[in-house]
Copies of this chain bind each other. A is one copy, B any other.
Amino acid sequence: MQRSELRSDIAWATPTQVVIHGLDLCEDIVGKIDFGDMAFLQIFSRLPRDADEKRIFNAMMVILVEHGITPSSLATRMTYCGAPEAVQAAVAAGLLGLGSVFVGSLDNAARMLQEAIPDKNNPGDISALAHSIVTEYRARKEIIPGVGHPFHKPIDPRSEALFRVARETGYYGPYAELMTHIGAEAERQTKRNLPVNVTAAMAAVASQMDVPWKVCRGLAVAARAVGLVGHIIEEMKRPMADELYLRTEHEATAHMVPKV
């Protein structure tokens, strides 16, 4: 009942050697490359080719790590409160909410950019692209991914910061330009404040690095896993889950509980 072979090119091991994407773990990796390079290696199957590529990748990853008290970090804290012996489950619970609402705009923006510019060496007329994208999304009454932010306005300072590094490293290319044009065009057409938000800036940079749009959410998830560990450590020292659920239980059921 074999229809096809099972094959993985990521890693292999013998009792005395471990090799990951062609690099010897003990000789080439441990003590030689850092965690950012290792993440790069897992995603691109090679090390960064130069300091610029390394810098822009790290800039993108660090933005994704920590977003404060969010539904995601609260799910982690709630889970830790019930299963402190299973830290892996607390991290996993926090990752599970990284879906369409908070991280989806990253994939969506990357997809929009990559479908508009299939070949970054031949981007075409970016201004015209932006115009037709905004017009089409509005005609379909769909939200344009990556523009506007409920809190960070009139501009999203994180987009500015990432685009600054992109310019310094040579990764502010056609995708970032298109994204910037889309933001401006959306503001023009809607007469509303619609800054390029951080997920759009990341989508543009990732696209310029040739990350397929389907992979973008994976980067966010990996980085956030690192951040959630920080929330577990704080929950160990200064728990809030217990207080929070008891308050919520009290308020949410007060209309039903008999007054004594």
Closest to A155 in B: B16
Counted per complex, copies of this chain come to 4
By a CB distance below 8 angstroms, the chain B residues around A3 are 243, 246
By a CB distance below 8 angstroms, the chain B residues around A8 are 68-69, 231, 234, 238, 240, 252-253
B79 touches A62 (CB 8 A): no
Q: A31 touches which one: B82, B89, B168, B257 (CB < 8 A)?
A: B168
A1 touches B244 (CB 8 A): no
By a CB distance below 8 angstroms, the chain B residues around A225 are 91, 95, 221-222, 225-226
Stretch at the interface among A100-108, A132-140, A175-183: A100-108
Contact flag A256-B19 (CB < 8 Å), given A10-B68, A79-B75, A81-B101: yes
| Residues of A that sit less than 8 Å from B by CB | 1-20, 25-27, 29-31, 33-39, 42-43, 54-55, 57-59, 61-63, 65-72, 74-75, 78-93, 95-103, 151-153, 157-158, 160-162, 164-165, 168, 212, 214-215, 217-219, 221-223, 225-234, 236, 238, 240-253, 255-258
Q: A100 touches which one: B84, B222, B240 (CB < 8 A)?
A: B84
User: How far apart are the CA atoms of A230 and B20 in the complex, in Å?
Assistant: 11
Contact flag A245-B69 (CB < 8 Å), given A34-B62, A59-B31, A96-B93: yes
B99 touches A95 (CB 8 A): no
Q: A218 touches which one: B65, B233, B253 (CB < 8 A)?
A: B233
30 pairs from A and B in contact (CB 8 Å cutoff): A1-B250, A8-B68, A13-B257, A25-B161, A31-B168, A35-B36, A35-B57, A35-B58, A39-B65, A43-B229, A43-B230, A69-B248, A74-B74, A74-B75, A74-B245, A82-B103, A83-B88, A84-B99, A87-B217, A88-B99, A89-B96, A91-B92, A91-B95, A91-B222, A93-B93, A95-B225, A214-B236, A215-B236, A225-B225, A225-B226
By a CB distance below 8 angstroms, the chain B residues around A91 are 92, 95, 218, 221-222, 225
Looking at A55, A58, A88, which has the most chain B CB atoms within 10 Å of its CB? Answer: A88
User: How far apart are the CA atoms of A151 and B14 in the complex, in Å?
Assistant: 8
Closest to A240 in B: B6
